[in-house]
Amino acid sequence: MPELPEITVKAHQMDKRLKGKRIANVEVRQPKNLNMPVPEFLKTVKGKIINSVWSKGKWVFIRLDPAYYLLINLGMNADLIYFTPKHKLPEKYQFKLVFADNTGFTIQFQWFGYVHLVSEKDLGKHKLTAHLGASPINEELTPEHFEQLLANKKMGIKSFLLDQKNIAGIGNVYVQDILFKAKLHPNRKVSTLSEKEKDDLYKAILEVLNNSIRLGGLAYEKDFYGRRGKFTIDEFLVGYKTGKPCPVCSTPIEKVRTGSTHSYICPKCQSLK
Ligand SMILES: [Zn+2]
C-alpha cells in the first residue's frame, strides 16, 4: 500500500513533468472512481491546464487552471504511470488522461481508488481530503503542532499515528520503524509519553519517512515512470522481520497483534511500561 513516501515521490515527478500541459482527452473505464457522471467530468476537465502537483497524506493534488483540482487516491495499490506516444500502454487500466502533446498517464487500480474533480470553491467541502491532518514532511508539522496534537489524547500511540486526521500519510508499513526508533511499544498510551519520548517520536517520524523518500519509496511500488523504489525489505529495522535480531540489542523481533493491526517490535527496546 502506498504511503507518504511513495505518493510524495510520484507527486514530485508529476509536478516536474506535467506542469503547463493541456488536457485533451480522458478515458474512464470504471465510472465509480469518479465523484460525478462521466459526461460532466469530461466536459469540465477537457481544456484545463496543469498548474502544479503535490501530495498530502495519501492523496495527489493536481491544481488545474482555471480554478479546479483533480484529487487522486490510489487506494490499497495502483499503478499511475506516465506515457509518451513511443510507449506501449499497459493492457489494463481504469483511467487514462491524454494531453494535447499526446503524452499522458494511465491509472490501474488494484482494489479501489478515487479520481475526484472539485472546483476551487468546493475544495474545503471535499469530505475525503478536507480533514486530513498535518503533513509530516513540510513545515505544517512543527514540533509545537505535534505537541498540541498529542495533548489530551487517550488512545494508544500507534492508533494516534495511523489516524489520518492527526498526521496525514503514515500507514501500517512505516509506523513499525517509527515506533521502534522512538523505543515505544505500539500500545503505549499517548498520555503516558514523557517530553523526551515525544521529542524522539517526532524525530523518528521525519527520519523514517525522509529516508524512504530519498530511496524513491518501497521496492514493490512503481513511480510515475514505472520504476521501482529502492526501499527493500532489508531497509526495515524491525518491520516485516519476525525472528530476526533487533539491530540495537539482538533480541529476536516479534510480530504481535495490536488492536486491528499487526506490529513488529523488539520486546526489549519497546517494552510496555
Ligand atoms: Zn532491541
Q: Say how many Å lie between the CA of residue 180 and the centre of ligand 1.
A: 8
Q: Cα of 250 to ligand 1 centre, how many Å?
A: 6
H-helix or E-strand spanning residue 89:
none
Ramachandran angles phi, psi of 17, nearest 5°: -85, -35
- Find where cell 520503524 sits: 177
262: helix, strand or coil: strand
How far apart are the CA of 135 and the centre of ligand 1, in A? 29
Task: Compute the distance from residue 15 Cα to the ligand 1 centre, in Å.
Answer: 41
Q: How far is the CA of 253 from the centre of ligand 1 (A)?
A: 8
3-state secondary structure of 59: strand
Please indicate, yes or no, whether the overall pTM of this predicted structure exceeds 0.95. no
What is the 188 CA–ligand 1 centroid distance (Å)?
A: 17
Alpha helices in 152-194 (DSSP H): 157-162, 175-181
Give me ligand 1 centre to Cα 2, in Å.
Answer: 27
d(CA 49, CA 70): 11
Per-residue pLDDT at 8: 94
pLDDT (average), residues 64-77: 94
Helix (H, G, I), strand (E, B) or coil at 93: coil
Residue 149 alpha carbon to ligand 1 centre in Å: 28
Other CB atoms within a 10 A radius of the CB of residue 132 amount to: 17
Centre of ligand 1 to C-alpha 183, Å, is 9
Q: What average pLDDT score do residues 82-96 get?
A: 94
Closest CA to 116 of 24, 45, 177, 194: 45
CA 135, CA 61: separation in Å to the nearest integer?
Answer: 13
Mean pLDDT of 88-92: 90
Grid cell in block for residue 194: 514523557
Cα separation, 6 vs 198, whole angstroms:
26
pLDDT in tens, 164-215: 999 999 999 999 999 999 999 999 999 999 999 999 999 999 999 999 999 9
138: pLDDT strictly greater than 80:
no
